[in-house]
Structure 1
Amino acid sequence: MFTSGGIVSDRGMIGEPLPVWLSYLFPRFREAGVFEGMDATHQDPNHCLVNEYLAGQGIMPHKDGPAYLPTVATVTLSSHCVLEFYRHPEDKDQGERESTTEENRAQEPEFSLLIQPRSLLVLKEDVYKKYMHGIREITKDDLCKGNILNLPEAMPQGVEETPVLERGTRISLTFRIVQKTLSTKKLFLRR
């Protein structure tokens, strides 16, 4: 795991510049309008988290923290994953809210996306705000199971039938904008 841009807390981030090699993607983000209209002071992301997921590793369903503006852009490298989306308990009807953490883990996702290597996934608006997202801890993804919304578009080329995909090591580069930032220069010049 590698974090660049600064360490984030609920109160914001003491910012540091992102390495040049990460900024090579920014013109493509701008061209696609990824962070457009988010914040006039930030045209480009100021935070990046690089994670490695070995085959069989996943991440529990979660919502990104309050320090981030409500858009996230993730570049996936090396291997695919199936990203699952669960309605956040706060956004459910009152009767649906009463559940334990174990029940949340056991619930089926409302929908999923097949994320292929060398792809960009952008989450914003309601998907960012109202859904938790996670990846199951499994070594193979049976694409016949679950409600994979983008399956026809994301199927590997040349595959006629819905396959079972074996996971490999996946690298994710997750770009965000932290709104409240303070540079180290400003921090040390304050009195």
Structure 2
Amino acid sequence: MEKPQSVNEPSLPNPVLLATIGGAHGIKGEVRVKSFTGEPEDIGAYGPLFDAKGARYTVKSARLSKTVVIVRFAEVADRNHAERLNGTELFVDRSVLPREGEDEFYHSDLVGLVARRLDGEVIGEVIAFHDFGAGDILEIAPDGGASVMIPFTLEAVPEVDLDLGHILVEPVAAGLEGAVEVREGDAIEGEDRA
């Protein structure tokens, strides 16, 4: 049996998250997968996928079903195995992905960039990219305090500069201006704290 390759080994020097396995589907080992590819059912178009421990997953079939892709992996034979994969992240090496076009970015490219207001003031660092279904969201961690989430739209983030390592954020469009911070113990107008 072939030893699985690890995402930390040279075989995947630049791993990119391509999908996350959800729950099992049916009794024959199929799983529901949240795909991060442009066309969700193209999850197998880039060759085998690998989890963080290095296990290999080869897509035998993939079909779109509402908001997920139903995938059959060659390495998953039954429902019990499929159930154990819930939450597993799947990666490919960046070298197998198509080159980005202008104004296109891989999610992993954005994490770690410095977020700045249009005037240059630093907001914080992009720590995560989320897709909750209603649109792409960037999570930014300031130097102090809780992280903030902003929409990843052209209006809210008019510039992404990977070479300089930052994004520019339009504060009003991003929902950062006019927000009222309420600290614990502060009274909210009209709220009765009995």
Pick the TM interval, shorter chain. under 0.3
Q: Which has the larger radius of gyration?
A: 2
Give the alignment's TM-score, normalised by structure 2: 0.24
Give the alignment's TM-score, normalised by structure 1: 0.24
Q: Which protein, 1 or 2, shows the higher relative CO under an 8 Å CA cutoff with sep ≥ 6? A: 1
